[in-house]
Chain A
Amino acid sequence: MNLLDKLLFCWRSVSRTRLRSMMLLLAMAIGVCSVVMLTSLGEGARNYVMQEFAFLGKDVLVMFPGRNETTGGLPPVTGAAARNITLTETLRLQRAVPAILKVAPVIIGSTLVSHGERGREVIVLGTTGAFPDIRQMSLDQGRNLHLDPGHKDNECLVGSTLLQELLPNQPAIGQLLRVADYRCRVVGVLSGRGDAFGMDLSDSVLVSISLAQQLFNTDSLFRVLLQVNTQQPLAATKKRIEEEMARLHQNELDVTIVSPDAMLATFDQILTIMTLAVGGIGAISLLVAGVLVMNLTIINTSQRTPEIGLLKALGAAEQTVLQLILWEAALLALAGALTGLLASALLLTLASVLWPSFPMQPPLWAVVAATATAVLAALLFAWVPARRASRLSPIHALYRR
């Protein structure tokens, strides 16, 4: 029996027992699809975390009040600090440390922002024009905030989502918004999402730091972003800044400075666990898919014992019979795997349209392993009963005794 005849025989057996073939194909497809989708989900979550915490550039240090001596843990988010960091201190710091290129002081809070009848409690971020610069945020319209922290005009940048709510279908630049009890002029519109500290800035306003100080009646800064010259070693610059801050704070070092490396090191543990979790999810779904394929293939092959007997009675060699069964199993598994890959590609495309910010992508190993597992499981578990049946004396297989 030549290869073409074998394939033709398999094709007839697949195409003419449509229901059975469809069930097998579906099982393989679901198995492969679920492996790809689950690992994509895991990988997506991992990438999401990466992306969320990689929002700072390599040349940006983050300074905040308070000192967490036990290194390794997460930095305190709400700094119950001994001493605040003030705007004046940041200005002195910048003057004292030439390696600092830009300083973006940040005050954060939430308050009612309104225009006419429309209004809502949103996050208000007080800063200077240095913040969008350092974060490399782009503007849809207008201009950036003033770079000078001493600038006294009340001006703001509005996130794109908030803009739609407050000022739908009208020119935004030059409009006056009400921020708590203050009036504030819109000078620009932020484009896209622009995350900061894990928050979505499209639903917030960035106001001048002087306004934020009045709004929240505070002098203390929540965070300070420092863009530094990377020509000099980051660690040395960090040390210089720490010395300078200690000097400003009566020789007590009570601020924390986090570099991107340290940040990533902190999250390294989380990311490692994420990676393991993705692998685990993949392995489990592969196993489930393998068992599914195994059961169906065993049932399918066992049911055909009489046919194996007949082929042997007609003079087919053991090898021929075995190959016929294996070819059929392999072809079905391959078709099922491809269907599954296609389905998952469609689902992933759909997901990327629905949730563009969640980067779902199957890891290559999952695609390869899922396909290989389906085909190998089908081959192996077709091989075992087929081999047993093909070794039976023809008459036993024929009458299945």
Chain B
Amino acid sequence: MIELRQLCKTFVLGDQPVKALDTIDLSIGVGEYISVMGPSGSGKSTLLNMIGLLDRPDSGSYTFENAETTTMSEPQRAELRSQRMGFVFQAYHLIPRLTARENIELPMVLGRVSSAERQRRSQEVMERLGIADRSHHLPKQLSGGQRQRVALARAIICKPALLLADEPTGNLDSHSGAEVVALLEELNRDGITLLVVTHDADLGARARRQLKMLDGRIDRDLTPG
């Protein structure tokens, strides 16, 4: 599904170049459950953003579902993001003035899904994630766990093939964190490809495939059992 070849990304901080991704080679198959760990600043988020087409590499190639993405135009990449990928961020990134339901429906609004269809799908997803009774609440009226579930609902509402989560439990207590993880894993069992960046060793260890990053390189690629 995903092929990264010799991928590099360098940021310039001040006058100091930082190799956030240093010649990465990585293949990911459909339905995999992968955790990405490593010290702060090792390039985990950069890798995730690269795979999510949120950022462009300096060099190397990235094919997603057999299509080379580095040469794609921005609208093509946007199309791919909206159709095939879902994102969950540590800081939720919900729009504060929209209700839970409106936030969840946002990708469908952007994707010209009819209003009736939106209603049906958002209701279904909210029920599945246990937030149906919160549909008219604003993000600030929700707990952290509920917010992350709204963000998760938004990520999967367009039935993506790939779900990218950057420290999804980073802002949550262990209980709601565990709930969100359970939901992610359930989605993965239903066939979605899941990539989770985390600092939590226990959470990282749950994944079938575990990547460890160091200084922009993949230091270890484990598939236990």
Which residues of A come within 8 Å of B, CB atoms?
1-2, 5, 9, 12-13, 16-17, 306-307, 310-318, 320, 393-396, 398
Contact = CB atoms under 8 A, between A and B. Distances in A.
A262 to B, nearest CB: 67
A79 B6 CA distance: 101
A12 B112 contact: no
Interface string B69-95: 000001100110111000101000101
A82 B87 CA distance: 99
A22 to B, nearest CB: 14
Contacts of B54: 313, 393-395, 398
A310 B93 contact: yes
Given A16-B97, A398-B54, A318 B74 contact: yes
6 contacts: A12-B97, A13-B97, A307-B95, A314-B87, A393-B56, A398-B89
A310 B111 contact: no
B67 to A, nearest CB: 16
Contacts of A9: 109
Nearest to B83: A315
A314 B82 contact: yes
B49 to A, nearest CB: 5
B106 A314 contact: yes
B110 interface: yes
A314 B107 CA distance: 6
Contact of B78 (A13, A310, A316): A316
A316 B83 CA distance: 11
A317 B55 contact: no
A2 B112 contact: yes
B167 interface: no
B222 interface: no
Contacts, number: 62
A12 B110 contact: no
A394 to B, nearest CB: 5
Interface string B93-107: 101011000100011
A314 B80 CA distance: 10
A394 B107 CA distance: 15
A315 to B, nearest CB: 2
A309 to B, nearest CB: 8
A314 B98 contact: no
Given A12-B97, A307-B95, A315-B110, 7 more contacts: A1-B111, A1-B112, A16-B97, A310-B95, A313-B93, A394-B54, A396-B55
Closest 8 CB pairs between A and B? A315-B82, A16-B97, A395-B54, A394-B54, A315-B81, A395-B49, A395-B55, A316-B110
A16 B137 CA distance: 13
B110 A311 contact: yes
A398 B107 contact: no
A306 B91 CA distance: 12
B201 to A, nearest CB: 25
A291 B53 CA distance: 38
Given A9-B109, A13-B97, A393-B54, A314 B81 contact: yes
Nearest to A15: B97
Contacts of A13: 97
Given A395-B54, A398-B93, A315 B112 contact: no
Nearest to B114: A2
A234 B189 CA distance: 104
Nearest to A396: B55
Interface string B40-80: 00000000010010111000000000000000001100110
Contacts of B56: 393
Contacts of B109: 1, 5, 9
Contacts of A315: 78-79, 81-83, 107, 110-111
A234 to B, nearest CB: 71
A17 B138 CA distance: 12
Contact of A17 (B81, B83, B97, B107): B97
